[in-house]
A and B are shown apart, each in its own frame.
Chain A
Amino acid sequence: SQQGEEDPQALSIQEGENATMNCSYKTSINNLQWYRQNSGRGLVHLILIRSNEREKHSGRLRVTLDTSKKSSSLLITASRAADTASYFCATDGVDSSYKLIFGSGTRLLVRP
């Protein structure tokens, strides 16, 4: 299975602090994506990093990818209470680009 695993499962930080979430996966991938889910809602795409990229930025988001370790990290800088949500990584494999497989997610709580 190419199922990703994220850690930590839950993270609680103070507003203004940085939040780092990690994702590991098992098979070779084309791309890795990060999504955000507010409670009881659908997922929203945050950022995509290709397998030949090592780092990518988008606003307060920074994503890294280490294909040798089959891992990625999502850093949210200067967190806000509105960043409170669950965050998931998702991968599409080299052998199965039509299948987007999600990790187990990290629940982030940003305290005001």
Chain B
Amino acid sequence: SQTIHQWPATLVQPVGSPLSLECTVEGTSNPNLYWYRQAAGRGLQLLFYSVGIGQISSEVPQNLSASRPQDRQFILSSKKLLLSDSGFYLCAWLIPGVEAFFGQGTRLTVV
């Protein structure tokens, strides 16, 4: 069956520390993968999306980067976290014209 995994569920990191959030998909090949960030009580901001291995499109210039080292793996990273990077991060797999499947999210608190 088609599933999407995202971890960790919660993360508390000090300012200036690195970040690595991982997302993997099962049950499909060459998925379209996305990273969104959601501020408290707000909508989803599209950060990055990828339509294939090594292909990354960035929507918002910021302190984050994304990589897709394998077909079903999408990673969100930062070399040095800022307080403003705190938020709820969601990975998604989009089937265009059908629907998107979301991971359970990572609550990141930068202290």
Chain A interface residues (CB < 8 Å from chain B)? 3, 30-31, 33, 35, 40-45, 48, 50, 88, 90, 92, 97-105, 107
Distance of A103 Cα from B51 Cα, bound (Å): 22
**Closest CB of chain B to A94's CB: distance in Å?**
12
Mask: chain B, 46-71; 1 = CB below 8 Å from A; 0 = not: 10010100000101000000000000
- Whether the Cβ atoms of A100 and B42 lie closer than 8 Å is no
> Known interface pairs A40-B107, A99-B49, A100-B34. Does A48 touch B92 (Cβ–Cβ under 8 Å)?
no
Please choose the segment from B11-19, B73-81, B96-104 that sits at the chain A interface, where 4 or more of its residues have CB less than 8 A away. Answer: B96-104
Number of A-B residue pairs, CB cutoff 8 Å, is: 62
CB-CB under 8 A from B102, the residues of chain A are 42-44
CB-CB under 8 A from A97, the residues of chain B are 96-97
Q: Which of B36, B41, B42, B99 contacts A33 (CB 8 A)?
A: B99
Q: Which of B43, B92, B100 contacts A104 (CB 8 A)?
A: B43
> Known interface pairs A42-B90, A88-B43, A105-B42. Does A100 touch B100 (Cβ–Cβ under 8 Å)?
yes
Mask: chain B, 10-51; 1 = CB below 8 Å from A; 0 = not: 000000000000000000000010101000011110100101
Distance of A92 Cα from B59 Cα, bound (Å): 14
